[in-house]
Structure 1
Amino acid sequence: MESSNSVEFGVEHQMVRDSARDYLAAHSDSAAVRRVTEAGPAHDHALWQAIAGELGWCGIALPEAVGGAGLGAPGLVLLQEQLGQRLACVPFWSTACVAAPWLQGSVGHSGPWLERLAAGECHAAAVLPDDGGWHYDGVRIAAQVNANGFVLHGSAAQVADAAGADWLLVPARLDDGEPALFLLEPAALAQDARFALAPLDTLDRTRPLASLRLDGLAVPASACLARGDAAVQGLAQAWWHGKLMLAAEQLGAAQQCLDLTVGYAAERIQFGRAIGSFQAVKHRCAQMMVVVEAARSAVYGAAQAWEAAVVAEARLEICAAAVAADDALRFCAQEAIQLHGGVGFTWEYDPQLYFKRAQAAGQWLGGAGVALAYIADNGPQAWRTA
């Protein structure tokens, strides 16, 4: 159950959306998601190899000069929406939506890294500040300079998609407080006792999290990709871009809650009639559609604003989209459970999967609270005094 939207996309964007919808419906349906997560938080490695390597989804937003498709944020938003709708168990958000823009924003000659990401050769994870913000104030990792490079100390409570990552982007502060960005290769550090990634068993098993500990880890000077303003700008770009793409993912999940509910209401018979024929059920489904469409307009508009590269406007649009998408997913997940009746919360039915995603995603990157605070501090005067 999906309507058109006033925001215009090109033919290429529509083709990306339609092909992603069909592919994920076939390869990341409910049964596939359950198979992957039965033993705990995990990735669908076969699906990741297909979408990153064969289909080239990681390069959708990247410039053609590095092997990407050049479709920018609008193209990536459409992919994220479809991935969220299917709760695809792949590290796409961390790789294409956070790590890639971080490298673009921090590293002057990021081409070699971006080429490998566009080709689907690497799965990247990023250590974001524990306070949920985009400033280095929330960075808890320190880097000491020595004769051979650097020594890293510190920890991160939760790192999305860190398990199995080829690259780990780690922000740190140097001895004098200067911000820096490091790139670590977990596979090469697996036997080093000073480096530890510990998988976490979480509520939402479709997105694995891990804790990171760096206890005097020595790294060469080449591991430091950026320092100073470049590191600061890269973190901010990664955070805001990730916030936008997280909203797109939440939008897709909310749409699936609506679709599942409408489908169930058409099949569930009560008092000799499908429950979807009752006015009270129709009204509740209609309200779900209203909040989904409002979120879709906000997310698509934010993607266009990001592409226009007007930072102040884009950030406000992203905050509005984040709040709308978070509200939509929470509301639709709750309504899906209620309108499925007595079976809505059971393991055999899918609404519980989306309810868990709603609860987890609502805490990432500071949740709606950070977005509302930013709007309150930076929105137009009329908003702040209303």
Structure 2
Amino acid sequence: MSELDSFRTAVRDYLEQASPSPAVRTLMDTEQGYDEAVWRQMANELGLHGIATPEHWGGAGAGMPELAVVFEEMGAALLCSPFFATVALALQALLDSGDESAIDEFAPALLDGSQVATLVLNSSLAAWDPSAVTITAQRDDADYRLFGDAGLVLDGHTADLILVAANTANGTSLFAVSGSAAGLTREPLSTLDRTRKVARLGFDGVAARLIGADGQAAAGLARTCDLALVALASEQLGAAQRCLDTAVGYAKERIQFGRAIGSFQAIKHRCADMLVLVEGARSAVFHAAQATDDGERAVAASVAKVACSEALLHVSLDSMRIHGGIGFTWEHDAHLYVRRAKATELMFGSPDHHLARLADLVSSPRHQPEGKL
């Protein structure tokens, strides 16, 4: 067994006891949406928050392959937690900003679990596009103040630290805002996927600290978003694998007409189709997590988002169908995975958006064979 497999087993074993179905159902109905004890345990005892953070800033110094494993297992368990918002978005945006003083100031509290953070990219959870940034920043002597609204922000109502992409006279910039800042309004929202919390934020002259150079945040945020796509695709992969495992297990146990339903050809074919989708998604995530060049990662991240979005949607629906009548009830967990599938399908760009992005990326000169345009 490789070190990565051992790490996966450790994370899976932990989540089996930390995020069983009853805990998920309890937490998804709370406004906060997560268990603080589990949150701190993941940070301090397992070191998950800093698994891909350089050792210089107190992390484990691993990389995206290890972090992808964490997100895959969290997706399988439907863990109710602000981990994605804090680690895949806010912490990564800090690291990609290149502002060492800001990383020194804000990263320790994110790594030890004493703070929750999130990142506001635009007014929704759409794909990254500098032209879609809706928040504006105005200079106020030595400080900045933010104005505007963000309609959909992951864990925005509980975040202690909010990083915000905003427009200044010099272009797209990144700012840090305290969750208790004057002029900041936060409204939790009811959404399709109740296991992941979303809020509406309003900025009315909110004091903010500039992260990095004024007008120079776009490139770093583009990289952050590509890495977040890989993390999200990993979540989708883990959820799809769990749906497949559950469906196959049920097909082996459910007796119909004196036989296990898994012995019927129609069920066999459906399970085989589900397996093909999951394995295709796994290959896409594996490649995206291994990519180190920014250009290669951009292509691989969009491929993974397309493959994993389609895999989770189809596999979760087929799992529900294989379970028959019980699969359509509120008491069964199948619908929670379908809800996660529909919500994540649209987060940071739909499959159609990423197919169009892929067409643009692969037609650019850097992706053409040598000597051809």
When residues 38 and 147 of structure 1 are mapped into structure 2, their CA distance, relative to the original with a 3 A threshold, is closer
**CA deviation vs aligned residue, 1:4-34 (integer Å, no higher than 9, x gap):** xxxxxx9432222110111111211111101
Q: In structure 1, how many angstroms separate the alpha carbons of the residues matched to 2:284 and 2:299?
A: 11
Distance 1:91 1:365, change over 3 A: same
After TM superposition, the structure 1 = structure 2 runs for residues 284-295 of structure 1, keeping only pairs within 5 Å, are: 284-295=270-281
Deviation at 1:229, TM superposition (A): 5.4
- In the alignment, structure 1 residue 115 sits paired with structure 2 residue 108: yes
Please tell me whether the aligned partners of residues 101 and 234 of structure 1 are also in contact (alpha carbons under 8 angstroms). no
> Could you tell me how far apart the structure 2 residues matched to 1:340 and 1:135 are?
41
2: distance between equivalents of 1:57 and 1:379? 34
- Range that drifts further, 141-150 or 348-357: 141-150
TM normalised by structure 1 equals 0.89
Deviates more, 1:262-271 or 1:252-261: 262-271
Q: How does 1:212-231 map to 2 (within 5 A)?
A: 212-217=201-206, 219=207, 223-228=209-214, 230-231=216-217
Cα RMSD (Å) of the superposition? Answer: 1.9
Report the residue type matching 1:352 in the other structure: H
CA contact (8 A) 1:43 1:208 kept: no
Partner residue, 1:3:
none
| Equivalent-residue separation in structure 2 for 1:179 and 1:51 (angstroms) | 33
Is 1:143 equivalent to 2:153 in the alignment? no
* Other-structure match for 2:166: 172
Equivalent positions of 1:244-283 (< 5 A) are 244-283=230-269
Shift of 1:39: 4.4
Task: State the match for 2:290 in structure 1.
Answer: 304
User: SS where residue 158 of structure 1 aligns?
Assistant: strand
Cα distance in 1, alignment partners of residues 123 and 348 from structure 2: 9
What is the SS of the residue equivalent to 1:115?
helix
Corresponding residue to 1:102 among 86, 89, 93: 93
Match runs of 1:73-222 below 5 Å: 73-109=64-100, 110-130=103-123, 132-147=126-141, 149-174=143-168, 176-186=169-179, 188-189=180-181, 192=182, 194-217=183-206, 219=207
Partner of 2:61 in structure 1?
A: 70
**1:330 lines up with 2:321 in the alignment:** no
Q: CA deviation at 1:344?
A: 1.3
Distance 2:95 2:256 in 1: 56
Q: In 1, are the aligned partners of 2:226 and 2:297 still within 8 Å (CA)?
A: no
Normalising by the residue count of structure 2, what TM-score does the alignment of the two structures yield?
A: 0.92
What is the distance in 1 between the residues matched to 2:302 and 2:313? 17
Question: Gapped runs of 5+ residues in structure 1?
Answer: 1-9
Off by >6 Å, runs of 4+ in structure 1: none
In structure 1, what is the Cα distance between the partners aligned to 2:351 and 2:20?
29
Query: Identity of paired residues, percent?
Result: 42
8 Å contact 1:43–1:206 — kept in the other structure?
A: no
Aligned residues: 363
CA distances 1:110-135 after superposition (whole Å, capped 9, x unpaired): 23433332233321111122362323
